[in-house]
A and B are shown apart, each in its own frame.
Chain A
């Protein structure tokens, strides 16, 4: 009914027939069987983020083949795609209509899919300025741990009918259900984007970023790598020019390539054998007392450390400032995610029980108990 004909023609981007690549029923059947046989499943798709989360051993359920853009309505600012659709494909299609994914997904490999992206819940550079991945979820099709196909949310921005189960899927690492299709809100692509830089210390960068954030300056990304602060400005050329002047920064030439390296973790900092910590703190938090180099994004709200410091020491320091630490990459015998309080774990277990009563969907991927 809402399928845009031109997106089905192969010469546009290689889509053939939507009826092909619809494996929802097959996935549901497999989950039902697994539920009946109490067989735990490890859900995989593009396999670019397998390093993320706790390691689990279970029968593999690959959902990558379930792919295709189901609806794309540029004027309605949304896209609905099956979970196995490559992220790159979605970005290419919407770019064609001058639109973007507001959360600017990070990318750890060419085969990354939209389903895996939503399950991991990770947002990229634009997140602190135009919203998170969760913020732009409008609806989702989900198969629960009993093999039931369910649909939550919708295609419209304003929707408060029923509990928000579609957003609950975001960042649940597949432990609450297999996402089979997702509807995301899109934004118009900014007319122009340029990046300016400043040579500053970490402390000064935190101050600057938070001062700017208290003004309407058209900032759409920030990044600090110990010495240099990069700030992306978005808008019309005139706005960018006057803002850069006000901020007194130096333009860099390769704006796009720079943010690609940030999104793809190609900055030399990430080329490390050390455990990589992703630390989420209130943005204006002063420099943390953690050993090792620090990268900052999101006006200071996201900080990366490559360090083999003791896990407990890191978590204690981060909790002191009201933040949380995730072991993004590294020795997975440790806790990966920031531990939950007792009351919160109880709540989590109740939800797991509702969505996956057989405890078969990525069991233990997030926390041993879930």
Chain B
């Protein structure tokens, strides 16, 4: 990577574009950007820039292209995969100042926003019109729409209402060439290739999002939140399957295991059954009588899978309390351990019980505790590995354990990341999930759209060389290379 220009000169170039105060170059100024929410990876950028207009960003990109300086865009820095980790030769482009909601259009049910707008701010702005933005990552008070698009983020309600990709209509993208690419609109169909899908989840590697138009939805008529407790995790897993196979699509269906239940009880006392091996929290929404019927049906399914307790929240307050524990799970687990490492594989739902059981075995094998709190309805696991970075070797063990969990997900026909992205964290597992020809396609796309590898380089797609060195076994279509060998 080129360093043909000294950092001091580069800084002077940027000061021609930005106010001096928006060009950060001192170590103490750069420190806050050295990592995102995956704190195991740290790197200071050469400079951090705080633009406040599209024109400034365009001018910055032009300078970076001229001097071949890598650019890492950053929203709120809540990525859990190291997506926003700075590049040692590059600049960090903090988009937090671009936080204007440009338009709420209640007639077409859209919001047009700048990339630094926080996820929750969109719903707040739409509230007076009785509308909201559906994807609700747990980090929604902090994370930005630019980051959500880069990671195709989901939330507890995406089982019914979809991920980011299902809820965006248009993007304004700045290419590395400094050109503005308009994709989509407030209409539903656009000519040309499906660039909205290509850009969503591309981890800031194909362009910088300058603006997004998202869909707004009316609030559901009514909702009911239920809790079911099980004394065997297997039963909880089977109940999840039972619900979906019965033609019910809950708005959200989440699972918490024993360790997580205990942690949340200590943290915020949501009143979860303390002895349960697992609980499910299920939110249903719809119209009065139909909703009642669904609640009854789900309740019956819980009982038929040997639930030891089924609770239906009587009012909004109780419903909120049930959700509160789920939402506080991560900080609650944080109280149990100096450090934790959150994984993000997705598996076909029917393998839930099997995979949870095997995660448990891996946990025993590596001697680290693993808590599970996750989007069960989507089969999107978030095994949380508890470790202590101050104990020599524990971080490495946690990473090894995490890697094995992801490989397990691929083996049962799933994927290494459901919503957190590959970032720097799961590059090795990409070698397991994809063949060389497939990785070559990704690399070729990157190369075609960013020849000099300036946009968030080194993330999301491993080089073939890396995969070869790793010697990872590519699992073809979830079919094991040697199915006869016992692995679990």
A and B associate in one complex? yes
Looking at A76, A127, A159, A354, the one whose CB has the most chain B CB atoms below 10 A away is: A159
Asked whether A76 lies within 8 Å of B349 as measured between CB atoms, the reply is yes
Whether B286 sits at the interface, judged by CB under 8 Å, is yes
**Which residues of chain B are near A346, meaning CB under 8 Å?**
177, 179
Interface-side segment among A43-51, A224-232, A280-288: A280-288
Asked whether A167 lies within 8 Å of B197 as measured between CB atoms, the reply is yes
Within 8 A of A (CB), among B361-419: 375, 378-380, 413-419
Interface-side segment among A18-26, A143-151, A195-203, A305-313: A143-151
Asked whether B181 lies within 8 Å of A347 as measured between CB atoms, the reply is yes
Complex partner residue of B430 from A127, A162, A172, A324, CB under 8 angstroms: A162
Given A162-B460, A214-B129, check contact A156 B379 (CB 8 Å). yes
Asked whether B187 lies within 8 Å of A151 as measured between CB atoms, the reply is no
Interface-side segment among A5-13, A236-244, A265-273: A236-244
A-B contact count (CB 8 A): 266
Within 8 A of B (CB), among A336-359: 337-341, 343-344, 346-348, 350-351, 353-355
Identity of the chain A residue whose Cβ is nearest the Cβ of B422 in the assembled complex: A161
Nearest CB on B from A189, distance (A): 7
Whether A74 sits at the interface, judged by CB under 8 Å, is yes
The CA of A355 and the CA of B131, in the complex, are separated in Å by: 40
The CA of A353 and the CA of B441, in the complex, are separated in Å by: 11
**Which residues of chain B are near A355, meaning CB under 8 Å?**
441
The CA of A335 and the CA of B219, in the complex, are separated in Å by: 41
The CA of A214 and the CA of B126, in the complex, are separated in Å by: 12
Interface-side segment among A81-89, A106-114, A128-136: A128-136
Asked whether B192 lies within 8 Å of A158 as measured between CB atoms, the reply is no
Asked whether B179 lies within 8 Å of A75 as measured between CB atoms, the reply is no
Whether B241 sits at the interface, judged by CB under 8 Å, is yes
The CA of A11 and the CA of B282, in the complex, are separated in Å by: 39
Identity of the chain B residue whose Cβ is nearest the Cβ of A349 in the assembled complex: B448
Given A151-B435, A215-B218, A238-B289, check contact A164 B188 (CB 8 Å). no
Identity of the chain A residue whose Cβ is nearest the Cβ of B447 in the assembled complex: A354
Asked whether A156 lies within 8 Å of B186 as measured between CB atoms, the reply is no
Given A164-B197, A354-B445, check contact A340 B191 (CB 8 Å). yes
**Which residues of chain A are near B413, meaning CB under 8 Å?**
1-2, 154-156
The CA of A351 and the CA of B206, in the complex, are separated in Å by: 12
**Which residues of chain B are near A144, meaning CB under 8 Å?**
441
Complex partner residue of A176 from B193, B247, B444, B448, CB under 8 angstroms: B193
Asked whether B249 lies within 8 Å of A188 as measured between CB atoms, the reply is yes
Whether B202 sits at the interface, judged by CB under 8 Å, is yes
Asked whether B218 lies within 8 Å of A216 as measured between CB atoms, the reply is yes
Within 8 A of B (CB), among A78-126: 98, 121
Asked whether A344 lies within 8 Å of B375 as measured between CB atoms, the reply is no
Q: What does DSSP make chain A's interface, helix, strand, loop or mixed?
A: loop
Nearest CB on A from B108, distance (A): 4
**Which residues of chain A are near B182, meaning CB under 8 Å?**
341, 344
Whether A259 sits at the interface, judged by CB under 8 Å, is no
Nearest CB on A from B160, distance (A): 10
Number of interface residues of A (CB under 8 A): 85
Whether B485 sits at the interface, judged by CB under 8 Å, is no
Interface-side segment among B150-158, B310-318, B326-334: B150-158
Whether B71 sits at the interface, judged by CB under 8 Å, is no
The CA of A128 and the CA of B166, in the complex, are separated in Å by: 12
Asked whether A158 lies within 8 Å of B191 as measured between CB atoms, the reply is no
**Which residues of chain A are near B444, meaning CB under 8 Å?**
354
The CA of A167 and the CA of B187, in the complex, are separated in Å by: 19
Asked whether A163 lies within 8 Å of B202 as measured between CB atoms, the reply is yes
Asked whether A216 lies within 8 Å of B193 as measured between CB atoms, the reply is no
Within 8 A of A (CB), among B170-211: 175, 177, 179-183, 185-195, 197-198, 200-202, 206
Nearest CB on A from B247, distance (A): 4
**Which residues of chain B are near A163, meaning CB under 8 Å?**
198, 201-202, 206, 442, 445, 461
Asked whether A343 lies within 8 Å of B179 as measured between CB atoms, the reply is yes
Whether B426 sits at the interface, judged by CB under 8 Å, is yes
As a 0/1 sequence over residues 477 to 488 of chain B, the CB contacts with chain A under 8 angstroms (1 = contact) are 111000100000
The CA of A322 and the CA of B187, in the complex, are separated in Å by: 7
Whether B221 sits at the interface, judged by CB under 8 Å, is yes
Asked whether A366 lies within 8 Å of B192 as measured between CB atoms, the reply is yes
The CA of A134 and the CA of B430, in the complex, are separated in Å by: 24
Nearest CB on B from A150, distance (A): 5
Identity of the chain A residue whose Cβ is nearest the Cβ of B421 in the assembled complex: A160
Asked whether B293 lies within 8 Å of A236 as measured between CB atoms, the reply is yes
Whether A77 sits at the interface, judged by CB under 8 Å, is yes
Whether B244 sits at the interface, judged by CB under 8 Å, is yes
Whether B163 sits at the interface, judged by CB under 8 Å, is yes
Asked whether B188 lies within 8 Å of A343 as measured between CB atoms, the reply is no
The CA of A160 and the CA of B442, in the complex, are separated in Å by: 13
Given A1-B479, A144-B441, A282-B185, check contact A156 B418 (CB 8 Å). yes
Asked whether A131 lies within 8 Å of B430 as measured between CB atoms, the reply is no
Whether B41 sits at the interface, judged by CB under 8 Å, is no
Given A156-B378, A158-B378, A280-B190, check contact A236 B289 (CB 8 Å). yes
Nearest CB on A from B429, distance (A): 8
Whether A298 sits at the interface, judged by CB under 8 Å, is yes
Given A75-B241, A76-B348, A121-B194, check contact A218 B287 (CB 8 Å). yes
**Which residues of chain A are near B206, meaning CB under 8 Å?**
163
Residues of chain A at the chain B interface (Cβ within 8 Å): 1-2, 73-77, 98, 121, 127-128, 131-132, 134-135, 144, 148-152, 154-165, 167-172, 176, 187-189, 191, 210, 213-216, 218, 235-236, 238-239, 242-243, 280-284, 298, 301-302, 322-324, 326, 337-341, 343-344, 346-348, 350-351, 353-355, 366-367
Ordered by A's residue number, 25 sampled pairs between the chains whose C-beta atoms are within 8 Å are: A75-B241, A75-B244, A132-B189, A150-B435, A154-B415, A156-B378, A159-B346, A159-B417, A160-B152, A161-B415, A161-B426, A162-B461, A165-B445, A167-B165, A189-B247, A213-B109, A214-B131, A238-B288, A280-B187, A282-B186, A284-B108, A341-B182, A343-B175, A344-B183, A353-B448
Q: Beyond A151-B438, A344-B183, list 14 extra A-B contacts (CB 8 Å).
A: A76-B244, A98-B247, A121-B189, A150-B435, A157-B346, A161-B417, A163-B445, A167-B197, A167-B198, A168-B197, A236-B287, A301-B187, A343-B180, A354-B447
Residues of chain B at the chain A interface (Cβ within 8 Å): 105-110, 129-131, 151-152, 154, 158-159, 162-163, 165-166, 175, 177, 179-183, 185-195, 197-198, 200-202, 206, 218-221, 241, 244-245, 247-249, 286-290, 293, 346-350, 375, 378-380, 413-422, 426, 430, 433-435, 437-439, 441-442, 444-445, 447-449, 460-461, 476-479, 483
A-B complex: 8 closest residue pairs judged by Cβ atoms: A158-B418, A188-B247, A167-B197, A282-B186, A75-B245, A337-B191, A350-B448, A236-B290
